[in-house]
Amino acid sequence: MKYPSVNTQLVILLGNPLGHSISPAMHNRVFEKLGLDYCYIPVQVTPKNLQVVFAGLSKMNVAGFNVTIPHKIAIIEHLDALDPLAAMIGAVNTICVKNGKTIGYNTDGEGFIRSLEDEGKISVQGKRIFLLGCGGAARAIAMTLAFQGAENIFICNRTYAKAEALATEINLKIRYCAEAVRALPEYQTGIIKFCDIFINSTSLGMHPREAELPISEACLLEHLVVTDIVYNPHTTRLLAIAEAKGCRIVHGLGMLIHQGAAGFKLWTGVDPLIAEMIETASALVAG
């Protein structure tokens, strides 16, 4: 292992708490394998200290940042520039420092779409998509789906008003393709049968509540590609049932890996080693 020097480019993860993060291991392994003089460091920071910590770090030998809960929205006002998709999403998970300027991006949606292409062997262009959930992750996914040419996005959420607001925003800001759906079985079944892709973006089924199922089994029809962004456990109950019914499935870990891979490319200009990232991330999640 090469030790850091003053020439080492740092990538900093800002969030709170960060104990669970697999990103440092994933990125440092690929920096080392590719012989890149970069180092990825988690920095736990409270909302109160975000501004001062970010201002100081941005003046150091820093190539970029990852930003996670609870700072993805709050960080925006401290940036010099914002990528158009990140501006639409209204949240930033990746920052590049170029010529002393900080530029914010959101790679969550792109990471999700790459994982669909990679593991699900499906492109979103022209597809009808049922998106269950309407939180922060769903917002990035829905906006990116619309940006990348999905034909219809049906957004279904326990709190219907949130689904309605997101659908309206997408239709106004990107193009007319989104519709809100009430979280009632009779509405869900009627629409899902005409969809190509089903996405669970709620936290239902996440450890330690693995038994929870976000939608009724009857909705998991064989022709669907079923994806769950929950990655702990690796195969959620939803995915296990969908696979047993003959659906193609896409694990949540792929989104995590590919959003990181997109950031890696932005900081270094180099394509990361996806296989190494998958191996590291899978071992950590399994552990």
Q: Which residues are catalytic?
A: 72
Q: Minimum CB separation from ligand NAP for residue 38, in Å?
A: 22
CB of 61 or CB of 189, closer to ligand NAP: 189
Q: How far is the CB of 284 from ligand NAP (least distance, A)?
A: 14
Q: Which is nearer to ligand NAP, 32 or 182 (CB)?
A: 182
Q: Closer to ligand NAP at the Cβ: 58 or 227?
A: 227
Smallest distance from the beta carbon of 157 to ligand NAP, in angstroms? Answer: 5
The residue assigned the tokens 């020097």 is: 5
CB of 62 to ligand NAP, least distance (A): 23
For ligand NAP, the binding residues (CB under 6 A) are: 133-138, 157-159, 162, 201-204, 206, 229-231, 252, 255-256, 259
Of 107 and 268, CB closest to ligand NAP: 107
| Nearest residue relative to ligand NAP (C-beta) | 135
- Residue 168: Cβ within 10 Å count: 13
State in angstroms the smallest separation of the CB of 40 from ligand NAP.
17
